[in-house]
Amino acid sequence: MNYSPARLTVRRGTFSACLKLATVVLLAFVCSACGSKPVAKLPPPPPPPVPTATVEAAPSTLQPGQSAVLTWKTENATDIKLEPIGTVEASGSKTVTPSDSVTYRIVAKGPGGQQEASVRVTVMPAATAAPKAEDELFSAASARQDVFFDTDEYSVRADQEPTVVSDASFLKAHPDLHVLIEGHCDELGSIEYNLALGESRAQTVKSMLVKAGISPMRIATISYGKERPFCREESDQCYRQNRRAHIVPTAEP
């Protein structure tokens, strides 16, 4: 079959037009399919962590002129203040000698918020000694004596329990007498460790006296750690003498 050049031109133009039309339809379909596909959303970033803060004091009860060690720790904070001291590092310790009772408050601020913690350091009023009561309490004829402890221990040994019972009986017989229990330690260990250990020893004896019927209002405690040794020789015998709770009668406040 023969076709004239004019008819071939027409057929070629028709084919080209159909091809273009098919391309347009295909593109429209593809674009329509792309447009209907949901776009994935990224999850929101996690919130910043909340700051944490702790502060402790050892000992927490002082006599005028005595020092305590503050120890604090924070996390996730960019602005840390220890009131009434001021701005401090994220963690650390500091020796303080307050003249009056004071509450130390640490405030830790960060992108995740704010956290606070506090500790109270109580400065006891200067006690007035009661010589007659003290002489009676520690007289040679009396069975009362200081309570002694094992190394690094603050629990009362079985052989020391009669001493506490004797002291409780004496305090019951003298209801107007107030006492101060001093916690003492040997020279081994750091200052901070022994201050905390001395406080635990004094508190243990106080708890036993209270259980025996003595009002806790009549009993104050303080820790001298290793600062006031009874024996200064570097020997096991001296160390044993320094590990004690020493009961000091005082005048009624």
Whole-number pLDDT of residue 197: 94
Whole-number pLDDT of residue 238: 85
Whole-number pLDDT of residue 10: 45
Looking at residues 139-162, what average pLDDT do you find? 80
pLDDT in tens, 31-86: 555 555 566 678 888 889 999 999 998 888 888 888 889 999 999 999 999 999 99
Whole-number pLDDT of residue 141: 42
Q: How confident is the model at residue 140 (pLDDT cuts 50, 70, 90)?
A: very low
What pTM value is reported for the model?
Answer: 0.51
The 8 Å CB, 24+ separation contacts for 212-219 are: 212/164, 212/165, 212/168, 213/168, 213/172, 214/168, 214/171, 214/172, 218/171, 218/177, 218/178, 218/179, 219/178, 219/179, 219/180, 219/181
pLDDT in tens, 212-236: 999 999 999 999 998 888 888 888 8
Looking at residues 200-207, what average pLDDT do you find? 94
Does the pLDDT of residue 206 top 70, yes or no?
yes
Whole-number pLDDT of residue 145: 72
In sign, the C-alpha dihedral spanning 162, 164, 168, 170 is: positive
Q: Which two tokens stand for residue 183?
A: 């916690």
Does the pLDDT of residue 107 top 90, yes or no?
yes
